[in-house]
Amino acid sequence: MISKSQVKDIRSLSSVKGRQEQHRYLVEGDKLSREWLHQGKNICHVLATSSWLREQEALLQQHPETLIHEVTPDELARVSTQKTPHDALLVVALPDFQYALPQHEWCIALDRLQDPGNLGSILRIADWFGIGHVVCSPGCANFFNPKVIAAGMGAHLRVALHETSLEAFLAQCQMPVFAAALQGTPISQFPKQKAATLLIGNESTGIYPALLQRATHKVHIPGGGGAESLNAAVSAGILVAALFGGIR
């Protein structure tokens, strides 16, 4: 059973404003809730059905500080941001810790990336390949948007997330910067990199010209078909696989 004011508080976590005011964010669904309980800290509330709570009893005992609420599927549907029904939902404190910006380590930097699904998929790419840092410019989708959490599939627990001016980041960056640009050099002409930043731009307008000038290399993925471009997350995946991953 949850109160009306609790419903209101949880629902407001789908907006940036609500998350800033409460300094909390949402994690939704069985799989992600279990992953956060396994690896995460600062879990304020668990809202879940009685059967889910029973199944996860041992896991929940590791979080004595967490408030646990047994709710009905209808109550969960009322606070969830998703269409399909869930067994569980967490309210988690936003992390306070600011990581140092990477200087010599592989990193993906995003210039005003708008789509939460793309941002989540790119965090998942970093997490898959073991890239430790993702840097977002102001104007990107928010790391703690529920759709980013869903598409990230747990990447938030393992990848250091930075939001800062990309000019400032690139100024202190001591590694090659590869910018994805339609007029770039084919990616096959570059060897695998020990440390580099991959810079991906806005879905419609690409990378801001002043930033693009600061890239040490402009790269593109040779196509040959009729499309004007690839999806931003797909491009990021192919470029990371070529410059960092084991596809060659």
Binding residues for a copy of itself, rule: CB under 8 A, are 117, 121, 124-131, 151, 153-155, 157-158, 186-188, 221-231, 233-238, 241-242, 245-248
Query: E strands of 80-173, at which residues?
Result: 88-93, 107-110, 133-136, 160-163
Of 45 and 220, nearer to a copy of itself (C-beta) is 220
Of 85 and 186, nearer to a copy of itself (C-beta) is 186
Q: How many helices (H) does the chain have, and how many strands (E)? A: 11, 10
Determine the Cα–Cα distance for residues 119 and 49; give it in Å rounded to an integer: 30
Nearest distance from C-beta of residue 109 to a copy of itself, angstroms: 18
Determine the Cα–Cα distance for residues 18 and 23; give it in Å rounded to an integer: 8
Angle at 163 between CA 242 and CA 111, to 5 degrees: 50
Nearest distance from C-beta of residue 221 to a copy of itself, angstroms: 6
Asked whether the beta carbons of 39 and 48 are under 8 A apart, the reply is no
Of 44 and 153, nearer to a copy of itself (C-beta) is 153
Element (H, E) at 17: helix 16-22
Separation in Å, CA 244 to CA 29, 118, 121, 162, 197:
32, 20, 17, 20, 10
Nearest distance from C-beta of residue 170 to a copy of itself, angstroms: 24
Residues 6+ apart with CB under 8 A from 54: none
Nearest distance from C-beta of residue 3 to a copy of itself, angstroms: 30
Of 24 and 220, nearer to a copy of itself (C-beta) is 220
Q: Which pair of structure tokens corresponds to residue 75?
A: 């109550």
Of 71 and 155, nearer to a copy of itself (C-beta) is 155
Residues 6+ apart with CB under 8 A from 94: 19, 23, 24, 25, 144
Of 63 and 124, nearer to a copy of itself (C-beta) is 124
Of 44 and 238, nearer to a copy of itself (C-beta) is 238
Determine the Cα–Cα distance for residues 4 and 103; give it in Å rounded to an integer: 47
Nearest distance from C-beta of residue 128 to a copy of itself, angstroms: 4
